[in-house]
Every structure is written in structure tokens, then in C-alpha cells.
Amino acid sequence: MSAKDLYYWVALSMAPGVGSVLFKRLTEAFGSPEGVFRAKAKDLERVEGVGPKVIGALRRFHWKHQVEKELISAEKTGARLVTWTDEEYPFGLKQIYDPPPLLYVLGALKPQDQRAVAVVGSRYPTTYGEMFAERIALGLGQRGVTVVSGLARGVDSAAHRGALAAGGRTLGVLGCGIDLIYPPENKKLFGEVEAQGAIISEFPLGTPPEKDHFPIRNRVISGISMGVVVVEATLRSGSLITARFALEQGREVFAVPGNADSARSAGANRLIREGAKLVTRAEDVLEEIPLLSLPGPQEPPPQPRLTEEEATVFSALGPQAMHINQVIAGSALPSARVSAILLSLELAGHVRQLPGMRFIKTGI
């Protein structure tokens, strides 16, 4: 796409009153975003959804200054602008009713990302929920499936970590401008996802993470994916919105069962009751979506290179989170030494500390 064409794509995407659906109608009617700006008012009025208010907004919109500012900011940020006419634009997303006309991208979108599954859930999960999100994402990543999530706290972060630990690809879809890191504590994870996949946003640069943006973002998460896995969600969780979008878009919906007495699992359990497929491992997802399956699983990521003492402590950790006293007992090393080694393993990304002085291997 030429710089001139991109200029008009950005202009129309930023025009007041022009959302994804109207953008699509206008470009279909006039051939291109440039054609929309050159169209006469009487011709614009013939397009469904276009009235005096939208026409007035298009005429008053000081798009030249705003577009130039946006393009300069995108270049400084390192973001690429991908339109739905570009080959890089996710195939599945292009098929939904209201695809974003323009995506801001950090990292790379690749053809294999057509084979993608979203893993979403609570921002404040239990250890159980976090563990299952990471475990399922790890299994998907090991089999060449791209893991999609929202880079939020909790389950989203665990899903990205699982995919990263597998050496697989992962896509983070933001509910704010791509130049903002939200939540701020995910700065390191943000960089890792960009390096091993891509960060995506449909929102202009500088757009804050407002509450109303996340449901809009959720349709992109499901639209990119062939299926959505919900791990721990309350009855009011945004993850249920993602599941609803998935159903509307013809995607598969999966849910990890949770404690029947826990409000955090009420949403996921209800999805299962309403027909979502119960899953506890990546294989359950692969069995339901044959197109996800590869001829054989990829090789698991190599085991970390550790010193003899580090290997002893690492081996003492089991499949579930363990209290430091259990690790000390299992390693037969002095408590001070175990504490120092666990810190070293955590800094290297091999171990994660959970509340209550409990530790778990990453990717478990």
C-alpha cells in the first residue's frame, strides 16, 4: 500500500462517527477511503447509516493534521499499520461482521497465526486457574498453535507465559493504544510477547485503557482465533463477552471447570452447562478443532541449563505449587541456600513465586 493510500485509511479510521461497520460500507460504496473523502454529500447519504451528522463530521474533521501526527507517532513507537487489504492482516479476523479496518502492530503477524486459540479468564485467578491457563497454553504452543490473549493481569498473563515457555507464538490484543503498557507491571511480558509474536491494537495511539474499550477488544481476540478457552470467570466477567463473540463468529468455545462454590468459576461452569466443551488440557482443544492438529507435536523446549545445586532445587519442585519448606526438605540443602537459589531461578524465568512463599515451575 502506498503512503498516500495509508494516509486516507488512517484518516477515515479516525473520523468521528465512523466505526468498523460504517467504514466497511463506505469503502465498498466508494472503492477506497480516499474515495469517501472525495464523495459528494448526496452520494454519501445513499450509504446506510450515513446521515447529516456523519457527513458534517467528515467535512469538519481536521484529518490532515491528526493523520500526520498519528503517522509520526507510529513511526517513533515502531508500530506498523496493517489494513484489512494487507496480506499480513489476520485471515479469521477479516471474516467477522465488524473487522477493524486498521491494526497497529508491534512484532510480526505470520501465516501460521491462522491456527490460533484464545485463552482468557479472570484478572484475579486462584493458583488453580493460573496453573491451568499456563498449562493449556504451554501444550498448545508446543504443538504449533498460536495463543491469543489480552495481556491483562491474571489468566491472560499466565496464557502468554505458557506459550512463551513452549517457544511458541503468542498474540496480545490491547484495549488501549499500542504505545501504552497496561497493566504497567506487564512491561517485561509485553516485550517478550512482541519478540515472540505480536502486540495488536485497533485503537489510535495514546488511547487510554478505558472500561468500554475492553468489550470492543474482546471481539478481536475471538475473531483472530479458531476457538476460545475460558479459565475462571465470574458471571460478570469480560471473558464471557469474548465467549459470546466467539459463538456469534462461529468459533468453538471451551471452559475449564472450577470449584462449584467459587464465584470466580461461576461463569466458566455456566458456559459448560450451556454447552461449552469441558477441557483440562491442550489435547482436549486439539481434538475438537482438527485443523489445529499438526502431523506431530513439536519438540518440547530444552530444559534450562542449571548448576548442580540449582538442578537439585528445580527437581524438588513438583507439578503443583510448593511451600518453600517443602522445597527445602526435598532438596536437603540449607534453607538460606535454597532461598538464594529460588531467587536466582525466578530471575532467570524458570520459577515463579506465588503468595504465601509458594513456588512453581514456569509453564507447569
111-292 — its CATH code? 3.40.50.450
Given this model, what pLDDT does residue 321 score? 76
**For the domain with range 308-361, which CATH number is right: 3.50.40.10, 3.20.20.70, 3.40.50.300, 1.10.10.10?**
1.10.10.10
CB under 8 Å, gap of 24 or more: what pairs does 355-360 form?
356/323, 357/323, 357/324, 358/127, 358/321, 358/322, 358/323, 358/324, 359/317, 359/321, 359/322, 359/324, 359/327, 360/127, 360/131, 360/317, 360/320, 360/321, 360/322
Q: Both ends of the chain: CA-CA distance in Å?
A: 43
Q: Give CA–CA dist 251/126, Å, rounded.
A: 27
- Judged by DSSP in three states, 338 sits in helix
Q: Would you give per-residue pLDDT tens digits along the chain (364 residues)?
A: 778 889 899 999 988 889 999 999 999 999 999 999 889 999 999 999 998 888 888 887 777 788 999 999 999 999 999 999 999 999 999 999 999 999 999 999 999 999 999 999 999 999 999 999 999 999 999 999 999 999 999 999 999 999 999 999 999 999 999 999 999 999 999 999 999 999 999 999 999 999 999 999 999 999 999 999 999 999 999 999 999 999 999 999 999 999 888 899 999 999 999 999 999 999 999 999 877 765 444 444 555 678 888 889 998 887 677 889 889 988 889 988 999 889 888 877 788 887 778 888 875 5
Q: What is the CATH number of domain 3-72?
A: 1.10.150.20
Domain 308-361 in the same topology as domain 111-292: no
How much is the pLDDT for 109? 96
Domain boundaries, the chain: 3-72, 111-292, 308-361
pLDDT of residue 298: 46
